Amino acid sequence: MSSVSFHHVEKSFGATKVIHGISFDIADGEFMVLVGPSGCGKSTLLRMLAGLEDITSGTIAIDGRVVNDVDSKDRDIAMVFQSYALYPHMSVRENMGFRLRLRRADRREIDTRVARAAQILKLEPYLDRFPRELSGGQRQRVAMGRAIVRDPKVFLFDEPLSNLDAKLRVQMRSEIKALHQRLKTTTVYVTHDQIEAMTMADRIVVMHDGRVEQIGRPLDLYDRPNNLFVAQFIGSPAMNVVSGTVRRHNGSAWLEADGVRWPMGEVPGAEGQPVVFGVRPEHLDLARTDGDHVAGDVIVVEPTGAETELLVQVGASQVTLVTSGRPRVRPGERIALAVEPGMGHVFDRESGQRLVD
């Protein structure tokens, strides 16, 4: 049980700076997900926490103790790698007990702890197999088993599900989550998949180009993204964005974009200000033509059963609309759209920052 804190952490490889001063804290027992596009520095940050990379400047502390100069093995962390990094020449049992064996724990203790971990992860039937005799999902479990046998202060995961097929990924996602709820060990989990981040995290750190874009609870990021990057990164299908200019007249406000008038309702932004207007697909509704609306032409209709996704051409932009049920519209048809009141997001076009309301 431990907290972790990053304080102005920077990292350079040679002359290239890849982490630009990152600070945040992870509470004891928290499941923190680092998410961002590939190459943004997530793994590097995690590896610095693991002691696999030097910290160029700043400090990382575990449980209040600065660990910059502490060896990996003395940080009391366990890491699950994307490739699992199981020792190919050791059985599942030996893989899981390796750390304890190195610490010269006695045989009985190793056996009981391995057995307990195997039971939690349902690995008992496989203890005497070798990694090459296991399926991807089972290897993944062994990698986690190796981590939990040690009962570390912090679990580190680096894209642990990327090598699994889609179905198994969903299953392992809930297993990891359940495991965390059971053990309550502080966890730092790296992924580029925002759905994994949303579904698993207590809090999310959204990273981009070696910087933190926003930190918060999943739904807070979803509902109030601080900037355009987070707005478009979190959520699937992605948020619709339209650039234009704020217009205000007689107490009503709208966005003017390529001759299209988007009613925005109560939103910030001064008359004439260049902005980007964002709205999530589920906050666009099919509307009646007699109210405030935007007209568009349906390009694609994708029914998924419970919901229907429409791709609609509005002026020069294409927007996505998700609606529950099965509306009777066809490609080529002209429809009316409305933004649910209060559900629009407005960002400054220059800085990409959210305009505060």
Partner 1 sequence: MMRGAVDEAKLLLIGIPVAIWTLLPIYHMFLFSISSKEEAFSGKAWPDHPTLRNFGVVFREQHYFLNHFWQQFANSLLIAVAVGVLTLAVAATAAFAISRLRTRGGRVVLNCALFTYFIPAAFLAVPMYKAMGAYSLLNSKWSLILAMVTIASPYAIWVLKQASDRLPYELDEAARIDGASPLQLFRLVYLPLMAPSLVAVGTYALLLAWNEYLYAFLLLSRDQDITLPVALGHFLSADDSPWELLMTAGLVYALPPAAIYYAFKRYMVAGLTTGAVKS
In sequence order, what E strands does 63-210 have? Answer: 65-66, 77-80, 154-158, 186-191, 203-208
191 touching Mg ion, by CB under 5 A: no
In this structure, is the dihedral angle defined by the CA atoms of residues 214, 257, 260 and 248, taken in order, positive or negative?
positive
Stretch that binds partner 1, among 16-24, 34-42, 97-105, 235-243 (CB under 8 A): 97-105
Nearer to ligand ADP, 36 or 296 (CB): 36
Helix (H) or strand (E) holding 22: strand 16-26
52 touching partner 1, by CB under 8 A: yes
Pairing type for strands 345-348 and 260-263 reads unpaired
Here the tokens at position 72 are: 């990996």
Instruction: For the CB of residue 188, give the shortest distance to partner 1 in the complex, in Å.
Output: 14
15 touching ligand ADP, by CB under 6 A: no
Stretch that binds partner 1, among 85-93, 118-126, 283-291, 332-340 (CB under 8 A): 85-93
Give the C-alpha separation, 138 to 121, whole Å: 9
206 touching partner 1, by CB under 8 A: no
Among 43, 95, 186, 227, binds Mg ion (CB under 5 A): 43
Here the tokens at position 161 are: 């599900």
**By C-alpha distance, which of 110, 84, 87, 86 is closest to 97?**
110
Instruction: For the CB of residue 54, give the shortest distance to partner 1 in the complex, in Å.
Output: 13
Q: Looking at beta carbons, which residue is closest to Mg ion?
A: 43
Stretch that binds partner 1, among 86-94, 206-214, 217-225, 299-307 (CB under 8 A): 86-94
Identify the burial level of 282 via C-beta atoms within 10 angstroms of its C-beta, where 0-12 means exposed, 13-18 middle and 19 or more buried: middle
Q: 220: which residues sit within 8 A by CB, 6+ positions away?
A: none
Q: Which of residues 15-44 bind partner 1 (CB under 8 A)?
A: none
**By C-alpha distance, which of 119, 115, 354, 131 is closest to 239?**
354
Instruction: Give the CB-side neighbour count of residue 118, counting CA atoms within 13 A.
Output: 20
Answer yes or no: are the C-beta atoms of 5 and 26 closer than 8 Å: yes
137 touching partner 1, by CB under 8 A: no
110 touching partner 1, by CB under 8 A: no
Q: Which of residues 30-59 bind ligand ADP (CB under 6 A)?
A: 36, 38-44
Instruction: For the CB of residue 143, give the shortest distance to partner 1 in the complex, in Å.
Output: 9
Binding-site partner at residue 98 among ligand ADP, Mg ion, partner 1, none, CB < 5 to 8 Å by type: partner 1
83 touching partner 1, by CB under 8 A: yes
Helix (H) or strand (E) holding 120: helix 107-120
Q: How many CB atoms lie within 10 A of CB 286?
A: 17
**Amino acid at residue number 291:** G
130 touching partner 1, by CB under 8 A: no
Nearer to Mg ion, 77 or 275 (CB): 77
Q: Is 347 helix (H, G, I), strand (E, B) or coil?
A: strand
Binding-site partner at residue 44 among Mg ion, ligand ADP, partner 1, none, CB < 5 to 8 Å by type: ligand ADP
72 touching partner 1, by CB under 8 A: yes
Compute φ and ψ for 324, nearest 5 degrees: -75, 155
Instruction: For the CB of residue 82, give the shortest distance to Mg ion in the complex, in Å.
Output: 7
Contact set with Mg ion (CB under 5 A): 43
Q: Which residues bind partner 1 (CB under 8 A)?
A: 50-52, 72-73, 77-79, 81, 83-89, 98-99, 102-103, 131-132, 146, 150
**Binding positions for ligand ADP, rule: CB under 6 A:** 13, 18, 36, 38-44
